[in-house]
Structure 1
Amino acid sequence: MNDEGRSAAIAVPSTPERSANERAILNMLRQDGPTPAAEIARRMGLSAQSASVITRKLEAEGLVLRGSPVRGKIGKPSTPIQLDPAGAFAIGLRIGRRRSDLILIDLEGRVLGQKTATYAYPTPASCLDLARAGLAEFKQMLSADQHERIAGIGIGMPFDLWNWLDLLGAPRAEMQAWHDFPAQDAFAEATGLPAFVGNDGSLACHGEHLFGGARHLPDFGYIFVGAFLGGGIVLDGRLYLGAGGNAGALASLPVPGADGRMTQMLEVASIHQLERRLEARMPGNGQRLLQQPAWAGFDDLEATWIEETARQLASATVTLVAVLDLPSVVIDGSFPAEVRQKLIARVETLVAQVDTRGIRRPQIVSGTLGITACALGAGYRPIVARYLVE
């Protein structure tokens, strides 16, 4: 994706107009669950009549449902109003180094279907094929009327893929195809849906904020350790993208390498580095070993990798806090839960040893979504754009 494509990646397609009050009510129901009409009116600062008119309109459009009346100690029973999960759907695509994941989600963010493609390295053609084939399969799960409720497709991908030839192990000509690839337009044309393209780290952060362990954190930094190293930032409850859509690009932070020369953090803190060492010891088995539900058979390499990666993440954590005054940093990755626990425990120990005079030592929070976070965050972008508050 070239600079032109990156600009498109932080813009969003035009979406149908929806009033601010409608969006605010839908947003509240998404965050807080079933809520009585009187409480909606109170919290939105609306009259009971105005709130009733809006909720009945949303109900008629199939976006909300009325639950069973709940009788309190006094007064009339209250009827809770909640999102209708089938009120909207969206497609989320995560493009990774070795695999891509496509999911179908509903208005509440529940995953209804998933399709995965593995490859030696990603190409625009293979990713477009996955989107087309997956959409066709997902539509078979929905009624014809529900097809019209698919809000769009969101795509999370590393920016500047052509610059990572050494990590991808791909021919230069194949990766150069990404340089001139108009991602937003290409996916829109391939699927017939509005397309929203963003950085994979930022969208994983978005997914964790909406549906994971960071759901109730208004301000935090996010670090995701995968084949690449990614990150994201949430400020005042909103995903912060930066001027170029690439805020939180921790992979590019300059750090000392093993030889003392400056390199990028990606080169010393990513699963790709562990895969390299596994391949050197057991050629042809690195990827297989790392795809185990529980890592086994390379305890010494795992321990060394956790120590080295934890030191880099501790440094990145303190940097995020020093620059943005963040109270929390969420850490996750595409590894087993046990590995995540070990890594976070070591990061916490190392951060506690850092001289943090002048800043507040942050809370380290465990992510909960793993590799699903990016596809979820990407998929929910079209729903947010059409129905909710950014």
Structure 2
Amino acid sequence: MPDAEVAMRPPDLLRPRGSNQVGMRQFNERVVLQALRVHTSLPKAELARLTGLSAQTIGLITARLEEDQLIVKQGRVRGRIGQPSVPLALNPDGAFAIGIKVGRRGAEWLLIDFAAQVRERHAVSYDFPDAQALLPAIAEHIHRLRDGLGPLAVRNVGVGLAAPFLLGGWHRTLGLSKAQSDEWNQMDLLAEVRARTDVPVSFARDTVAACVAELVGGRGHDLKSFLYIFVDTFVGGGLVIDSHLHTGAHGNAGALASLPMQSVRSGGALPPQVMAEASLWELEQRLQAGGLDTTAAYDDRALQPPHAAVTQAWLGSASLALAHAIVSSTAVLDLADVVMDGSMSRSLLQALLEQTRAALAQCNWEGLWPPQLHGGRLGAQACALGGAMLPLHANFAPDHDVFLKAA
């Protein structure tokens, strides 16, 4: 098995010409690829205008990218004057990446193409992950997805792994033994996965990866700065400022689950955290107490009889907790927009958005400017999708700090 340094190299097929930094595609080529990713398709003249590069430079770059099979020509478009233009677009088969989400309730594997479209998906559910079973399964799915590409397998640029920093955290809340908790909290998950594959692997916190996906493929097209909230088994989030992901000193910015719900009182018990109310785990517990199927928390049954009454009660408390988190974050960050998504059904997300907006309207905003609350566009697959975008970004985007530094 190759060592970590060798394993982090991109495939030879995509290694750039004339670069003294291994794995780095020439900057101007990356700028052109990013413009095509944002705008879907553009003729050369428009590429030159948007990038500030000369027409001659654009011609040379696009010829090289077409030779590398990273871009393709589309059908001619006849304008009102002059010669018809030929739009250029990313070649979906130009590169591939694998995204993995390891969560407290399930794992997911996605294969995406160069246009960030999902080609294949596998998922497994569990009460809590068993490391001895899950780690081999992670490697098996990586190799199955890569090898399934056939001759295009050489264009797989890597794997992005998305998981909670402390998968075994809050073990008393989850009803886990200390041994179960310690197994995950003491594990270097990234190192364990790298040791099982020769495919380059990078890591991001799960909700940060979801934020990446929203930034690239969702509301990030319209919003430059926003707080991102993702309601999963536990709630979490991320932070985007000026179209850049900000991860903080420890990579933990946007960890809304840990935000206290009230001030600490001298000699008293620790105040509850936001995750105690605004998490699908809490909805699961309420459903279980009512003798109902807990998996309904993640699908359309949540708002249907006999689950609806329990879900409505959860919505009331979850929306108040989320409103508290949004007001607190606004006081520190002064952001104009908040994006909320989650691994629940779209109908439940819409209900949560509506009730959170109502709760925000009742908050004390004196001295603050209330932000707009938007629904996310990617849903449950956001974490795995964001994970898959990490290696694509590392190999082809112009700004290394837009998402994350290499692990």
Residue 79 of structure 2 corresponds to residue 72 of structure 1: yes
TM superposition score normalised by structure 2: 0.87
Name the SS for the 2:261 alignment partner.
Answer: strand
Q: Deviations over 1:264-296 (max 9, x none)?
A: 1111221111211222221xx442332443323
Amino acid at match of 1:124: A
Question: Which of 280, 286, 290 in structure 1 is aligned with 2:297?
Answer: 290
Separation (CA, whole Å) in 1 of partners of 2:171 and 2:37: 41
Alignment-mate amino acid for residue 137 of structure 1: R
Which residue in 2 is equivalent to 1:85?
92
* Cα offset, 1:206, TM superposition: 1.0
Distance in 2 (CA, whole Å) between partners of 1:30 and 1:294 is 37
Q: Partner residue of 1:59?
A: 66
**Which of 345, 356, 369 is the matching residue for 2:354?**
345
Conservation of the 8 A alpha-carbon contact between 1:121 and 1:169: no
- Corresponding residue of 2:366: 357
Does the 8 A contact of 2:274 with 2:322 survive in 1? no
- 8 Å contact kept, 1:123–1:175: no
For residue 176 of structure 1, what is the aligned residue in structure 2?
A: 182
Structure 2 CA distance for aligned equivalents of residues 217 and 67 of structure 1:
29
Q: CA deviation at 1:368?
A: 2.1
Matched, 1:385 2:394: yes
Q: Is 1:255 the counterpart of 2:261 in the alignment?
A: yes
Q: Residues 104 and 113 of structure 1 are in contact (CA less than 8 Å); yes or no, is this contact kept in structure 2?
A: yes
Is 1:269 aligned to residue 289 of structure 2? no
Moved over 4 A (4+): 12-15
Write the mapping of 1:200-279 to structure 2, written as runs, cut at 5 A: 200-256=206-262, 262-279=271-288
Which among 384, 399, 403 is matched to residue 375 of structure 1? 384
Structure 2: where are the runs of 5+ without partners?
11-22, 403-407
* Structure-1 residue corresponding to 2:329: 320
- The structural deviation recorded for 1:231 is 0.6
Report the Cα distance in structure 2 between the residues aligned to 1:80 and 1:205, rounded to whole angstroms: 30
Q: CA RMSD in A?
A: 2.1
Give the drift of 1:71. 1.7
Distance 2:315 2:287 in 1: 14
Q: Quote the Cα distance in structure 1 between the aligned partners of 2:221 and 2:174.
A: 33
- Say whether the 8 Å CA contact 1:86–1:107 is kept in structure 2: yes
Counterpart in the other structure of 1:111: 118
Could you tell me whether the CA contact under 8 Å between 1:102 and 1:130 is conserved in 2? no
Q: Give the drift of 1:158.
A: 0.9
SS in 2 for 1:342: helix
What's the CA shift for 1:214?
4.0
Counterparts in 2 of 1:281 and 1:260: CA distance versus 1, 3 Å: farther
Structure 1 residues 125 and 240: CA distance shift in structure 2, 3 A: farther
Deviation at 1:159, TM superposition (A): 1.1
**Counterpart of 2:168 in 1: which secondary structure?**
helix
Q: Which amino acid aligns with 2:218?
A: G
**Preserved contact between residue 111 and residue 118 of structure 2 (Cα < 8 Å):** yes
Instruction: Indicate the residue corresponding to 2:15 in structure 1.
Output: none
How far apart are residue 321 of structure 1 and its match? 1.7
**Distance of 2:262 and 2:8 partners within structure 1:** 41
The number of residue pairs the alignment matches comes to: 376
Amino acid at match of 2:133: S
Partner of residue 124, structure 1: 131
How big is the shift at 1:14? 5.9
Q: 1:42 aligns with which of 33, 37, 49?
A: 49
- What is the match of residue 101 of structure 1? 108
**Helix, strand or coil at the partner of 1:263:** coil
Whole-Å Cα distance in 1 between the matches of residues 269 and 381 of structure 2?
A: 36
Q: 1:350 to 1:53 in 2, by over 3 A?
A: same
